[in-house]
A and B are shown apart, each in its own frame.
Chain A
Amino acid sequence: MNSIGLKMEGIVKDFPGVRALDHVDFIVNKGEIHGLLGENGAGKTTLMSVLCGLYRAEAGSVYLHDSNTDSEREVVISTPREAIVCGVGMVHQHFRLVQSQTVLENCILGIRDTNLVVDYKAIEKDIIELGKRYGMEINPEAYIWELSVGEQQRVEILKMLYRDAEILIMDEPTAVLTPQEARLLGETMKLMAIEDKTIVFITHKLDEVIEFTHRSTVLRDGKNVSTVDTGNTTKRELANLMVGRDVVFSIVRPNISPGDYVMEMRGVSVYDSRGVQTLKDIDIDVKSGEILGVAGVSGNGQKELAEVATGLVGCKNGSIYIGGRDMSDSSAGKFIKAGVSHIPGDRIGVGLVGNLPVSDNLILKSYQIKEICGGLLFNQRFVHEYVDRLIDEYEVVTPGRDTLARNLSGGNQQKMVLAREIESTYRCYDDTRLIVAVYPTRGLDVGATEFVRSRLVKQCSEGAGILMVSDDLEEIIAISTRIAVMYSGYIVDVVKADCVTLEDLGMLMAGERPIDEI
């Protein structure tokens, strides 16, 4: 086996009231792709933040490979700059790129030892060279805002490689990618491993762990539970290690016969601010007791579909009915009152207010009801009871209702959003309840994913209609009643979920109808 590329020993990190890392040992060899797994809040990001100099550990040491002696050497990394100097580069989940600058400018941003006059030609050559070497060809003169998400991520990686990073930390890199892009990223990582780079790959997607990594380490509650050879393990074993108990992988779709229409869209078209048509003549409906899954490569109109279904965007042509009521000209507020709730795809940007406490966040959709606010002032006692009940029922792990929402882990933030959205549908004109869930389990760990899915299914069997947009095809097939497939703003087809295969869906997502139907 190769020499050790990175060794972290006995790392301890305390946050007020919690020990986030408890004597964690973590070893990655050179030329290895090493999966780092764990539930939200298990300490993955904290451990890597210590390595990158963002957090200072209470105890423990870090050793890196020293090419002069070909053995490991202890280093102290106390600032992000020192991390770069030591050859540690992190590709963050949320990119650290300057949108209005070019690829090249982003690559050299912050490098100190450049000459007064920058030799752009030479740098350009280096970047093209690096891109070729790792299968990430990109135009160095392109502006970041012109690039797709996948390309932006490549710039992030190139940036690190350009700075001679020997250790690359990839923080959930595939969460934002399409399956094709994810596969390309896998190839790139393999190329980097061949070049003896040390790669830490943080992810929730167990398939990718199996496919890409050599070994993986599982963290749970701030402890290193196990480091395993990926070749000798299974998804189920990894999932069990992460959660610490047996995980039920299959949640059965609700088995009740669908009732009345909860939502109907008839001939809906939508144009964006530049006049581009994003939804074309959409005809779909959701009945009570039914989950309508929406599949498609992201960016084919799913976001807009959810925005129309929740009243955030008005439809230009066509009509939308909620519980039989024509809502074509209604505002988001009216939709909420009509029993429509919305678990947004952009949890942090839209779904919650990070700088406000959990309690303020939990009442966002119900602060107008008369129990909370009969007149002008809030009934504080009712709010406290209501909020505490939701925290309890939806197993939101938080120090208290006054904790700021941004300090919760991703899974708990989503549970909070889920709690608020499900509860808000109970208080409307009639029994109509529609839950529009966009990527409801994206970025969540196994435990939280299971929780969210089972709650959605439970709502469905209690009579709510659910419109679920997801990029996880297995999820869609597992819990949907019917599946609508979107391609470039159209609904290609609506199929029954119990008689469709992944391959069928893949064809439809590429915009091709099965031949026998034409």
Chain B
Amino acid sequence: MKFSVEPRIEATSSLRFVVMCTSILCAFMFGGLIMAIVGVDPVDTYVAMLEGAIGRSEDWNDGQFYSITETLVKAIPLMITSLAVGVAFKMLFWNIGAEGQLVAGAMAGSGVALFAKDYGLQSTYAVINIVLMCIAGVMGGGLWAIVPAFLKTKFKVNEIITTLMFNYVAILWYQYLFNVAWKDPDGMGFPGTAKFDGIWILGRISGRLHWGLGIALVSGLLVWIILDMSKWGYEIRVIGQNLKAALYGGIDVNRNVLRVMLFSGGLAGLAGTVEVSGVSYSLQEGLNVGYGYTAIIVSWLSRLNPIAIMIVSVVFAGIMVGGDQIQMTMGLPSSVAYVLQGAMLFFVLGGEFFVRYRMTIIIGQRHADS
């Protein structure tokens, strides 16, 4: 028996779908194998995770949607940061710094929420305050991203290194702020800033689910329109697919690098603002839990497609919440969730092989498909 591999000219979308589903199934089977080795029943664990992520039918009948709203709460920052890195990746600009840009945005947003009233910038309408805060967050994240972009355009400094290192700088600033500079004097020694006033807080939809979901959906729509229908999106596509052709077509590549990173960092910063304004209501521990890194996986799995990003973000958030659930109820480490996420990336990228090539098994000397 021999294998024969030949390149496909063009893969059909149904083939892509089948390969994608099979890859995800393989990832879950792989995860199950790990569970079996550890000595727990994979089926029980998956059921527990699923219940953790979307709840049990009894809960739904009682009108309890706690699990679903928790999953969506986690999906919001994941959606926005995945969109952010997705736009940069589309141009083949490797923004690994969404984590730092998210934190920078959170700092900027928190700063406005905490101190704007001292300068008379506070409105009595929450909507206006939130918009102000979001603008600050976008600027914070954008500024954090523009520095590596500038270094790239001016001195050709590798953006993977700079954006990654800027993460650590942002996180240290953030720890300094809530531990020292902006620490709440009435906080009984606990690290963290004072709670924001009510007019600086995003309203809730249901449970802990807040209107950040709306912001995430609008961001997705915006990114979709930009990438698919706009002149700017066209330039991003051409630069990403063939830099030489872009220069030849008269596209100003450096200006696009700056613009895209301002936008990408701005979106990540928005995610940070939405987190502080919608979930923690203050700048405190627990913001840098890796949304910016998971976003890289999410946007790759989604093939940088904004609509797919929204869906994959929810799935990944569900896996995270499910992981927390099995930690609480079954005593398993929540890192099972990370094993699963990694396996999904691995299998989906591996499955790419079957999209690009046609593999046939040859038995004996004659040609035979199988």
Binding site for B on A (CB under 8 A): 15-16, 53-56, 76, 78-79, 312, 331-337, 342, 344, 346, 349-356, 360, 363-365, 367-368, 373, 376-378, 380, 403-404, 407
What residues on B are CB-neighbors of A373 within 8 Å? 230-231
B127 at the interface (CB under 8 A from A): no
Report Cα–Cα, A8/B73, bound state, in Å. 63
Report Cα–Cα, A332/B244, bound state, in Å. 12
Interchain residue pairs A-B with the least CB separation, the first 8: A333-B250, A78-B4, A364-B249, A353-B242, A373-B231, A336-B250, A332-B250, A353-B241
Contact call B245/A353, Cβ cutoff below 8 A:
yes
B123 at the interface (CB under 8 A from A): no
Contact call A55/B237, Cβ cutoff below 8 A:
no
B206 at the interface (CB under 8 A from A): no
Contact call A351/B230, Cβ cutoff below 8 A:
no
Report Cα–Cα, A53/B7, bound state, in Å. 11
Q: Which residues of B2-21 have CB atoms within 8 Å of chain A's CB atoms?
A: 2, 4-7, 9-10, 12
Binding site for A on B (CB under 8 A): 2, 4-7, 9-10, 12, 225, 229-232, 234, 237-238, 241-242, 244-245, 247-252, 360, 362, 365, 367
Known: A377-B230, A377-B231, A378-B229. A54 touches B245 (CB 8 A): no
Contact call A76/B238, Cβ cutoff below 8 A:
no
Contact call B244/A333, Cβ cutoff below 8 A:
no
Report Cα–Cα, A54/B249, bound state, in Å. 34
Contact call B237/A356, Cβ cutoff below 8 A:
yes
Known: A76-B365, A333-B250. A376 touches B232 (CB 8 A): yes
What residues on A are CB-neighbors of B248 within 8 Å? 312, 332, 342, 344, 350-351
A/B interface sample: 25 pairs, CB < 8 A: A15-B9, A16-B12, A53-B4, A55-B6, A56-B360, A78-B4, A79-B4, A79-B5, A331-B250, A332-B248, A333-B251, A334-B250, A336-B250, A350-B244, A353-B241, A353-B242, A354-B241, A356-B241, A360-B234, A364-B249, A367-B234, A376-B232, A377-B229, A380-B229, A404-B10
Report Cα–Cα, A354/B4, bound state, in Å. 26
Given contacts A78-B362, A332-B248, 8 further A-B contacts (CB under 8 A): A78-B2, A346-B244, A350-B245, A352-B242, A353-B245, A354-B241, A376-B230, A377-B229
CB nearest to A363 among chain B residues: B234
CB nearest to B250 among chain A residues: A333
CB nearest to B242 among chain A residues: A353
Report Cα–Cα, A16/B5, bound state, in Å. 17
Contact call B6/A54, Cβ cutoff below 8 A:
yes
Known: A332-B248, A376-B232. A56 touches B6 (CB 8 A): yes
Report Cα–Cα, A350/B362, bound state, in Å. 40
The distance from the CB of A78 to the nearest CB of chain B, in whole angstroms, is 4
The distance from the CB of B324 to the nearest CB of chain A, in whole angstroms, is 40
The distance from the CB of A401 to the nearest CB of chain B, in whole angstroms, is 15
Report Cα–Cα, A342/B242, bound state, in Å. 17
What residues on B are CB-neighbors of A16 within 8 Å? 9-10, 12
The distance from the CB of B83 to the nearest CB of chain A, in whole angstroms, is 18
Q: Contact check: which of A312, A333, A378, A407 meets B234 at CB < 8 Å? A: A378
What residues on B are CB-neighbors of A337 within 8 Å? 250
What residues on B are CB-neighbors of A335 within 8 Å? 250
Q: Contact check: which of A334, A356, A376, A407 meets B238 at CB < 8 Å? A: A356
Contact call A349/B225, Cβ cutoff below 8 A:
no
Report Cα–Cα, A107/B209, bound state, in Å. 63
What residues on A are CB-neighbors of B251 within 8 Å? 333
Known: A373-B231, A377-B231. A352 touches B250 (CB 8 A): no
What residues on B are CB-neighbors of A404 within 8 Å? 10
The distance from the CB of A16 to the nearest CB of chain B, in whole angstroms, is 6
Contact call A351/B245, Cβ cutoff below 8 A:
yes
The distance from the CB of B281 to the nearest CB of chain A, in whole angstroms, is 36
Pick the most buried of A79, A331, A337: most chain B CB atoms within 10 A of its CB. Answer: A79
What residues on B are CB-neighbors of A54 within 8 Å? 6-7
Report Cα–Cα, A377/B224, bound state, in Å. 12
What residues on B are CB-neighbors of A352 within 8 Å? 242, 245
Contact call A365/B229, Cβ cutoff below 8 A:
no
The distance from the CB of A386 to the nearest CB of chain B, in whole angstroms, is 14
Report Cα–Cα, A378/B362, bound state, in Å. 49
What residues on B are CB-neighbors of A331 within 8 Å? 250, 252
Contact call B249/A365, Cβ cutoff below 8 A:
yes
Q: Contact check: which of B12, B225, B237, B244 meets A360 at CB < 8 Å? A: B237
What residues on A are CB-neighbors of B244 within 8 Å? 346, 349-350
CB nearest to B4 among chain A residues: A78
Report Cα–Cα, A371/B233, bound state, in Å. 17
What residues on A are CB-neighbors of B367 within 8 Å? 56, 76
The distance from the CB of A438 to the nearest CB of chain B, in whole angstroms, is 11
CB nearest to B365 among chain A residues: A76
What residues on A are CB-neighbors of B241 within 8 Å? 353-356
What residues on A are CB-neighbors of B238 within 8 Å? 353, 356, 360, 364
Q: Contact check: which of A312, A354, A363 meets B247 at CB < 8 Å? A: A312
The distance from the CB of A354 to the nearest CB of chain B, in whole angstroms, is 7
What residues on A are CB-neighbors of B245 within 8 Å? 349-353, 364
The distance from the CB of A349 to the nearest CB of chain B, in whole angstroms, is 6
Contact call A368/B6, Cβ cutoff below 8 A:
no
Report Cα–Cα, A78/B5, bound state, in Å. 8
Contact call B249/A354, Cβ cutoff below 8 A:
no
The distance from the CB of B57 to the nearest CB of chain A, in whole angstroms, is 44
The distance from the CB of A59 to the nearest CB of chain B, in whole angstroms, is 9
What residues on B are CB-neighbors of A355 within 8 Å? 241-242
What residues on A are CB-neighbors of B6 within 8 Å? 54-56
Contact call A378/B231, Cβ cutoff below 8 A:
yes
Report Cα–Cα, A335/B251, bound state, in Å. 12
What residues on B are CB-neighbors of A342 within 8 Å? 248
What residues on A are CB-neighbors of B237 within 8 Å? 353, 356, 360
CB nearest to A20 among chain B residues: B9
Report Cα–Cα, A289/B182, bound state, in Å. 73
The distance from the CB of B141 to the nearest CB of chain A, in whole angstroms, is 22
Report Cα–Cα, A79/B238, bound state, in Å. 34
What residues on A are CB-neighbors of B234 within 8 Å? 360, 363, 367, 378
The distance from the CB of A333 to the nearest CB of chain B, in whole angstroms, is 3
The distance from the CB of B238 to the nearest CB of chain A, in whole angstroms, is 6
Report Cα–Cα, A337/B250, bound state, in Å. 9
The distance from the CB of A243 to the nearest CB of chain B, in whole angstroms, is 25
The distance from the CB of A232 to the nearest CB of chain B, in whole angstroms, is 38
CB nearest to B239 among chain A residues: A353
What residues on B are CB-neighbors of A312 within 8 Å? 247-248
Pick the most buried of B5, B230, B234, B241: most chain A CB atoms within 10 A of its CB. Answer: B234
Report Cα–Cα, A336/B247, bound state, in Å. 12
CB nearest to A333 among chain B residues: B250
